[in-house]
């Protein structure tokens, strides 16, 4: 009778588990499920965390904020993001110090349309806790210039403008799979300069991360997942200049079933955040 009761209890638990809806599941690069606690412990030991995102995914933004809050209880932090461009750093610093308000930041900095819902919580967390927040991305007008005319177009920038990008000339490897794939995806509508525009973004973000590293701290960087997937992009540039740098990458993917990661997604990062494809989008 006791065995029957145990079996019934097990069956009930199994059924309830099968009915539970999960919006996400974390995996390691071997395809094993891992807990949020394990991810948190790994990031504690890192010098840089590259948290790749889909820009419109509500779960990614929620987990970015939660990880940042939890890690801040254990380590000194520097925050940084692709979503704010380097020439807006002074404005961002004024906001962090309370010298300008949100409306003034909105009207003077080129904030993304989803800033209020997706990035403001991170910036405000930095403000409340007196943490540095680094605007790491190249001003978009210069990336656009590269996409049209190549790296050479940057040589004509002023001395001040060059402080907002990675030092020239930058390293560039057109054979990196991410850049090759970009060329394939664009098909007849692309030119050899398109991946160069991506590369100058990657190089600039890596440069400002490296420039703002602090001893015994973790730099958490929020970027589009394609900027760090497969240990390329920002990761590649950081490793070129600092081979011993301890970097943890988190990649985001969307799947119909979050319980089993697709084989193609195994090696996108040290940790892969698999999100239900039906999760609400922020725009």
Strand order in the sheet with 76-85: 33-34, 24-28, 271-276, 247-255, 48-53, 217-224, 76-85, 133-137
* Cis peptide upstream of residue 200 (ω within 30 degrees of 0): no
Residue whose C-alpha is closest to residue 163's, from 208, 200, 202: 208
Q: Is residue 10 scored above 90 in pLDDT?
A: no
pLDDT for 14 equals 43
Q: What is the pLDDT of residues 50-72, one digit of tens each?
A: 999 999 999 999 999 999 999 99
What would the mean pLDDT of 196-201 be, rounded to a whole number?
Answer: 97
Tell me if 283 sits within 8 A of 114, measured CB to CB.
yes
Q: Which pLDDT value is given to residue 19?
A: 61
Determine which helix (DSSP H) or strand (DSSP E) holds 19, and give its type and residue range.
helix 2-19
Residues 87-128: pLDDT tens digits? 999 999 999 999 999 999 999 999 999 999 999 999 999 999
Q: How confident is the model at residue 21 (pLDDT cuts 50, 70, 90)?
A: confident
State pLDDT tens for residues 243-261.
999 999 999 999 999 999 9
Are 50 and 221 in contact by the 8 Å Cβ rule? The answer is yes
- Residue ranges of domains in the chain, CATH in brackets: 23-276 (3.40.50.11550)
pLDDT, mean over the chain? 93
CB atoms within 10 A of CB 50: 29
Token code pair at residue 193: 């300069």
Give dist(CA 192, CA 190) in Å, integer. 7
Residue 218 near residue 47, CB atoms below 8 Å: yes
CA atoms of 184 and 243, how far apart (whole Å): 30
Name the β-bridge partners of 271: 28, 250
- Share above pLDDT 90 across residues of the chain, in percent, rounded to a whole number: 88
């Amino acid at each position: 009778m006791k065995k029957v009761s145990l079996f019934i209890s097990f069956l009930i638990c199994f059924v309830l588990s099968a009915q539970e809806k999960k919006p996400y599941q974390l995996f390691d690069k071997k395809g094993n499920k891992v807990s949020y606690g394990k991810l948190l412990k790994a990031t504690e030991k890192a010098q840089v965390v590259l948290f790749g995102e889909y820009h419109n995914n509500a779960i990614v933004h929620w987990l970015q904020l939660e990880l940042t809050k939890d890690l801040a209880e254990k380590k000194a932090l520097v925050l940084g993001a692709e979503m704010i461009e380097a020439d807006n750093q002074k404005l961002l610093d004024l906001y962090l110090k309370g010298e300008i308000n949100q409306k003034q930041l909105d009207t003077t900095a080129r904030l993304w349309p989803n800033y209020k819902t997706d990035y403001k919580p991170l910036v405000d967390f930095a403000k409340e806790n007196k943490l540095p927040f680094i605007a790491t991305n190249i001003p978009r007008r210069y990336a656009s210039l590269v996409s049209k005319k190549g790296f050479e177009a940057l040589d004509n920038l002023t001395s001040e403008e060059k402080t907002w990008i990675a030092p020239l000339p930058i390293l560039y490897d057109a054979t990196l799979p991410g850049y090759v794939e970009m060329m394939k995806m664009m098909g007849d509508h692309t030119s050899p300069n398109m991946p160069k525009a991506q590369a100058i973004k990657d190089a600039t973000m890596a440069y400002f991360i490296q420039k703002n590293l602090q001893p015994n701290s973790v730099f958490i960087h929020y970027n589009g997942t394609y900027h760090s997937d497969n240990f390329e992009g920002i990761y590649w540039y950081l490793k070129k200049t600092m081979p011993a740098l301890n970097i943890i990458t988190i990649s985001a993917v969307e799947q119909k079933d979050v319980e089993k990661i697709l084989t193609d997604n195994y090696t996108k990062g040290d940790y892969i955040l698999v999100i239900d494809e039906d999760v609400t989008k922020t725009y």
